[in-house]
Amino acid sequence: MQVVLIVDDNTAVRTVISDFLAYTFQHIKVLQAIDGLEGMALAREARPDLILLDAEMPNMNGFEVAQQLRASSDTQTIPIIAISSGPESNPIVSGLRAISDATLPKPFSPDELVQVVNGLKPVSGIIA
């Protein structure tokens, strides 16, 4: 079973993405983290096949999470999709987008999510 980790402090965003993935793609296990610290812990423990990562969160922002994931040999190859509505002028948002494998600005549709995931070579086929 493939695992997707959603890291976002907005409960509604996490729930909508998780529900869509779980309902549409039964072969996927979806994990959720409420902030960057929990996201880091889950990424290290579960080694997901894909991470959807928000930029601006409490405790540890998405850019810091992505930097730590990329610095660790255990997690550096996990594909990251930056999901943020923040402006490019925000250094946290621009940093996360630069280090991520793909970007999906909020709000996005289910079709856009599927299209971006399927465009990532290491994970194409997770969502088909």
List, for residues 44-98, the tens digit of each pLDDT value. Answer: 999 999 999 999 999 999 999 999 999 999 999 999 999 998 888 999 999 999 9
Domains of the chain (ranges; CATH) run 2-109 (3.40.50.2300)
3-state secondary structure the chain: CEEEEEECCCHHHHHHHHHHHHHHCCCEEEEEECCHHHHHHHHHHHCCCEEEECCCCCCCCHHHHHHHHHHCCCCCCCCEEECCCCCCCCHHHHHHHHHCCEECCCCCCHHHHHHHHHCCCCCCCCCC
Percentage with pLDDT > 70 across the chain:
93
Enter the pTM of the model: 0.93
**Does 25 score more than 90 pLDDT?**
no
